[in-house]
Chain A
């Protein structure tokens, strides 16, 4: 039975420490969630984006319950500091993500910040946003082996169907 905690060991701790205190950490993450819901794409240090992602997705899960739900409304009231975003959450984001079972956000790393600290930055966005896409999905070129084989198979099938 462990009677004392050795200093500087944090095995199994999942939550990062931010800000001045646990309350300050929640306020920081709350500001980020509000900004994400408002702007649908934000650029922040990677650790903050990673931490905030879980909270944002759970908030959307609560919003999917509908705005008649008391717990969902209380969650939205706490997590969104700008109260016009509560309407946006329940009327825009909840219907948008109704068909999806999970993973409503996309997080990508961007080049380190230009300032003195060269911090590792990430851009986190809600899927289905109206803004220009960050990454264009690329199709493999036609010259790859698999694509050439598939092309040959298709041609054979057409020839067999024609004859």
Chain B
């Protein structure tokens, strides 16, 4: 029970101090019926209030700051150790396991594994490398940044001549044999 002391006028304060002294000494039976109740400044604690240490100190401890152990907020903590059986049930529940993938196929071109809706990694790396080399040739031909031409481009490999469809297109030469997977249109 927190005891509040307001700051009154000096005469009122003297009166209150006298009454307080009488109550503490047990000379005011009207308050607690003769028994001396556990007096002392009780500190406000949430939940179960232990008997505070200030009971013996009396009035002096009212000026002390409450110690760390008495103003603690109670928090949830596990009561018992979870057994390994319970732990296994939780850890191996189907919702926690990785789903098995059933959409893995074999790429018909190279024979590596691929997902059905995704491009084959090996074939894509092949195409990416060839694209990179073609782009290097384009860069060499353009000579600098921001020089993209206003005509179409066609890529020709060793020993190939431009057909009549390739009229007016910019020709990029690649110094190798045409790969089997790059069909000339």
State which of A82, A85, A108, A132 has its C-beta within 8 Å of the C-beta of B182.
Answer: A132
Q: How many residues of A contact B (CB 8 A)?
A: 26
Q: How far is the CA of A133 from the CA of B182 in the complex (A)?
A: 7
Q: B146 to A134, Cβ gap below 8 A?
A: no
User: A92 on the interface (CB 8 Å rule)?
Assistant: yes
Residues of chain B from 132 to 148 with CB closer than 8 A to chain A in the complex: 134-135, 146-148
State which of A38, A84, A111 has its C-beta within 8 Å of the C-beta of B118.
Answer: A111
Residues 91-110 of A, flagged 1 when their CB comes within 8 A of B and 0 if not, give 11000100000000000111
Q: B119 to A135, Cβ gap below 8 A?
A: yes
User: B78 on the interface (CB 8 Å rule)?
Assistant: no
Residues 146-183 of B, flagged 1 when their CB comes within 8 A of A and 0 if not, give 11111111110000000000000000100000010111
State which of A39, A85, A87, A111 has its C-beta within 8 Å of the C-beta of B135.
Answer: A39
- Knowing A92-B152, A96-B152, A110-B119, the reply to whether A132 touches B127 (Cβ < 8 A) is yes
State which of B117, B127, B147, B155 has its C-beta within 8 Å of the C-beta of A130.
Answer: B155
Residues 105-136 of B, flagged 1 when their CB comes within 8 A of A and 0 if not, give 00011000000011101001001101100110
Closest to A131 in B: B131
Q: How far is the CA of A131 from the CA of B124 in the complex (A)?
A: 13
State which of A41, A130, A132 has its C-beta within 8 Å of the C-beta of B181.
Answer: A132
Contacts between the two chains (Cβ within 8 Å), count: 65
- Knowing A134-B119, A136-B181, the reply to whether A88 touches B148 (Cβ < 8 A) is yes
Closest to A109 in B: B118
Q: How far is the CA of A114 from the CA of B161 in the complex (A)?
A: 39
State which of B148, B153, B172 has its C-beta within 8 Å of the C-beta of A84.
Answer: B148
Q: B134 to A131, Cβ gap below 8 A?
A: yes
Q: A138 to B124, Cβ gap below 8 A?
A: no
Q: B87 to chain A: closest CB distance in Å?
A: 29
Q: A132 to B149, Cβ gap below 8 A?
A: no
Specify which chain B residues have a CB less than 8 angstroms from the CB of A91 in the assembled complex.
150-151
Closest to A132 in B: B182
Q: B117 to A109, Cβ gap below 8 A?
A: yes
Q: How far is the CA of A38 from the CA of B151 in the complex (A)?
A: 13
> Which 10 pairs across A and B sit closest by C-beta, in order of nearness?
A91-B150, A130-B153, A132-B182, A111-B121, A84-B146, A109-B118, A87-B150, A88-B148, A132-B130, A110-B119
